[in-house]
């Protein structure tokens, strides 16, 4: 299936900022199950500084806000050919060793709630890793209901687990943290999702992948309780959202900021 994607991000300020630097991870990967047919990004209000592949092989770009500018707009668009692999990515081509994905980050550091979730599927996981991870995906979905507007990008996995609600990012973080407790390498994936009957979306999507000895990397989308199929486009990955975020930046100055995000995914 061929998906056409348009992704626009605009940061607006009520006055010029002293300095702002944005890190962009917006280019889909050509990898198992997907081929990027075309892709381009245009930036206004900022100037490109450097383009490189990070240690997860995410295409990464740094842009610096232009002097005197009060807004930055990044628009990416292109087409990606995707196949349904039922979530099985396989060995992959990343440079990072598996042990790196067993280490918890600040965002995924588990507390009592996540340890309880992991414990609830420990026997199932020991008997069969794949069945165990499906059970974990279901347990996380029941424990952390999808509800937008209840968390932020800085909410940790344990905070979301305690609240019992969050967005796809939070649900992915909770499953990643629990999988790592069970000794299963796990990582965060940011990307796009074709939603039936909804072309316009206000955000990108996020899910997780776990390493199973028999299959390699396998995706799990807790928000939709499925393994990603040909409706999903993988863009960037990391140990947590912060390492795979589409746009991440820093700025100096006391200007008030407004963020606008528009995502369109269609066949």
Q: What's the mean per-residue pLDDT of the chain? A: 94
Q: What is the mean pLDDT of residues 238-252?
A: 92
pLDDT greater than 90 at residue 192 = yes
Q: What is the mean pLDDT of residues 209-223?
A: 96
pLDDT greater than 80 at residue 124 = yes
pLDDT greater than 90 at residue 172 = yes
pLDDT greater than 90 at residue 35 = yes
pLDDT of residue 216: 95
Report the distance separating Cα 142 and Cα 166, nearest Å. Answer: 12
All domains of the chain in start order, with CATH? 2-83+246-266 (2.60.40.2250), 88-235 (3.10.620.30)
pLDDT greater than 80 at residue 75 = yes
Q: What is the mean pLDDT of residues 88-113?
A: 92
pLDDT of residue 160: 96
**Is there a contact between 144 and 124 (Cβ–Cβ < 8 Å)?**
no
**Is there a contact between 165 and 147 (Cβ–Cβ < 8 Å)?**
yes
Give the pLDDT band (50/70/90) at residue 123.
very high
pLDDT greater than 90 at residue 221 = yes
Q: What is the mean pLDDT of residues 231-257?
A: 92
pLDDT of residue 181: 97
pLDDT of residue 6: 97
pLDDT greater than 80 at residue 150 = yes
pLDDT of residue 173: 98
pLDDT of residue 96: 86
Q: What is the mean pLDDT of residues 238-259?
A: 90
């Amino acid at each position: 299936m061929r998906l056409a994607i348009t992704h626009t991000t605009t940061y607006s300020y009520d006055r010029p900022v002293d300095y702002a630097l944005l890190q962009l991870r917006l280019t889909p990967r050509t990898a198992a199950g997907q081929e990027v047919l075309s892709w381009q990004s245009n930036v206004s209000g900022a100037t490109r500084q450097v383009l490189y592949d990070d240690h997860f092989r995410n295409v990464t770009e740094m842009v610096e806000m232009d002097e005197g500018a009060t807004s930055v707009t990044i628009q990416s668009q292109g087409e990606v050919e995707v196949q349904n692999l039922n979530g099985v990515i396989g060995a992959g081509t990343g440079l990072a060793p598996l042990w790196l994905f067993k280490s918890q980050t600040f965002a995924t550091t588990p507390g009592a709630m996540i340890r309880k979730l992991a414990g609830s599927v420990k026997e199932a996981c020991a008997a069969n890793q794949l069945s165990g991870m499906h059970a974990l995906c279901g347990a996380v979905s029941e424990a952390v209901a999808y509800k937008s507007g209840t968390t932020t990008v800085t909410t940790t996995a344990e905070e979301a687990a305690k609240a019992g609600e969050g967005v796809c990012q939070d649900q992915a973080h909770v499953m990643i943290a629990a999988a790592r407790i069970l000794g299963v390498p796990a990582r965060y994936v940011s990307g796009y999702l074709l939603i039936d009957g909804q072309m316009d979306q206000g955000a990108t999507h996020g899910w997780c992948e776990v390493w199973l000895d028999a299959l390699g990397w396998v995706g799990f989308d807790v928000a939709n309780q499925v393994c990603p199929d040909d409706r999903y486009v993988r863009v960037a990955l990391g140990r947590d959202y912060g390492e795979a975020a589409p746009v991440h930046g820093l700025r100096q100055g006391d200007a008030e900021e407004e963020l606008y995000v528009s995502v369109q995914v269609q066949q």
